[in-house]
Every structure is written in structure tokens, then in C-alpha cells.
Amino acid sequence: MKFDHLQGSIVAMITPFHQDGSVNFEVLTQLLERQIAGGTDAILTLGTTGEYSTMSHEEDASVVAHTVKVVNGRVPVIVGSGSNCTATQIEKSIEYQNMGADALLLIAPYYNKANAEGMYRHFAETADRVSIPCILYNVPGRTGCSIPVSVVEKLAEHPNIAGIKEASGDMSYVMKIAHCAGPDFALYSGNDDITIPLMSVGGSGVISVYANVMPEMCHQIAADWLAGNHEKAVANQLKYLKLMNDLFLEVNPIPVKAAMNMIGLNVGPMRLPLCEMGEANAAVLRNSLKEAGLL
């Protein structure tokens, strides 16, 4: 499917597992169909929420192949191909492009970090090697480094870099890069709790954890803002803000997978080093699901 300037709700898919830890492709199919039926505007697979960091390369590829097959061009499929090794990122990006991905999500080089020039080359050289759009992924809480504003500005001019998933939660940073947003460079919120604030400065939507739980509402919030129904969008953002926040009571994706299991979606466990939620946090999350009408 052609990737244009994508707007709206992009779900950051979880990866369902059997109790033995293997990928549950039957449930993955059900989840993908649920997202499409709920109006989700695009699917992101192999993001942070998808636990790609504990999956083998072969498992990653099998999840991509399955996702592309099930979605079958109905919405764009974005694949996380990032690595802290640029050569590996390029290799994976080419592979996923050849498997039918519509766009790629490229993470900042975690652990080894890099200076501004190295950061620029990490993204630009990957984008040079593929023909599908690339989205930058700024998540310093995970990577230990933020993509410098100057680097975002430079990369926004690259013909094959289509936007940024901004997941720092830092609205000051968002404001500094907001001027880059336009027809050729999209700004997506990577934090559900500030989707509307980010969209108010030119953002195109959200790459969402919350959408795993409430795909229709996540889509509606973004769609209302884009349609100019700002009061309604803000009201729903605030109405479900507690649930959005409680999906981060513990490190993602522990709470969202717990929530999905609570509402009967049977997505299975996490892989170590992630494990089940503590009882106190699970009780808080369960109450938020009840308040949202999901239990």
C-alpha cells in the first residue's frame, strides 16, 4: 500500500505469545483484524511495544510476513527495523521493504549513542538504501540519547525521511521541531497522554500503545482533531487520560498486555526480562478499565 502523508491513529502492536513464549499467530491475526475494524489508520509492528528486543531475527521476519499478509494492503504497515548498529539497521530495512513493508521506523542508536554527525549518518544512510519512507524514532528514555534538534531539522529535508515519532514526552523539544512538520515531514506523538497537545502544534497523529486496548476511540480522538472538532477531541483525550497513563504504570508493554488479557484478548505473557505486573498496579489498571467501560 502506498504510504502518503499518513494522519491519525497508528497502533504500536503488541506481539502475542503462547504460554511457552512462542509467537501466537492465530491471536495476532485476530488483533490485526480488530484494529482494522476499529478504524486504525496504520499498523506498526516490531516497535518497542512489540517486544522485538527479545525476539530472534527469524521471529521478527515471521511476524512481519504474517502482518503484511493479513493486512493485505488495507492500511499501511510500518515495520520497526532500527538497531544501534547502522549496518544491521540497513540490512533489516532492505529485508522488510522486500517483504512488503510500506514504511520503516528507525530508532536512535541506543547504548553507543553517537555524536550529532554520527546520528545523522545513522538515519540518512539507511534512508538512502531503501525506497520506502522512513520515520525517525526519538525515545531517549529507552535509548539514553535524544536526536538533536539540528539533526531532526537536517533529516526533515531528506527526500526519503517522512516524519518522526516523538516519544520523549518533552513538549519543549516538540515545540523546537514543530516547524519541521509539513506536507513532507509528519510529527507523530509517541505518548498517548499528549496526543492532542502535540497535534495542536502541527502533529499528524499518534503512534499509540492505548490503541491496542481501545482502537476505535484512539482513532476517533485523532480524527476529530484533524476534522476541526477540537472540543470533542480534547474531551475524549481527558476522559481516557487516566487509562492512557495507567498503561505506563510499569514499563511498556507490561501494562498493555495485562490490560488486553484482562479484557479477554488472550495475548499471553511477556518474555523475560519483562514479567507480569505487580498486584497493586494490576488492581489500579483493572479499575481504570472498569471506569473506561471495558470490564
Q: Which residues are catalytic?
A: 137, 165
**How many residues belong to the chain?**
295
Q: Which cell numbers hold the place of 180?
A: 519541521
Q: Which residues on neighbouring strands pair with residue 30, listed in sequence order?
A: none
Inter-residue long-range contacts of 197-202, CB under 8 Å, 24+ positions, other chains counted: 197/171, 198/166, 198/171, 198/174, 199/225, 199/226, 200/225, 201/174, 201/175, 202/178
Q: Which cell numbers hold the place of 90?
A: 540497513
The answer to whether the bond into 140 is cis (omega within 30° of 0) is: no
Distance between CA atoms of residues 253 and 231, nearest Å: 30
8 Å CB contact between 145 and 110:
yes
Q: Which cell numbers hold the place of 171?
A: 513538549
Residue 184: enclosing H or E segment and its boundaries?
none
The answer to whether the bond into 253 is cis (omega within 30° of 0) is: yes
8 Å CB contact between 172 and 149:
no
Amino acid letter, residue 84: N
- Cα-flanking dihedrals φ and ψ of residue 152, to 5°? -60, -45
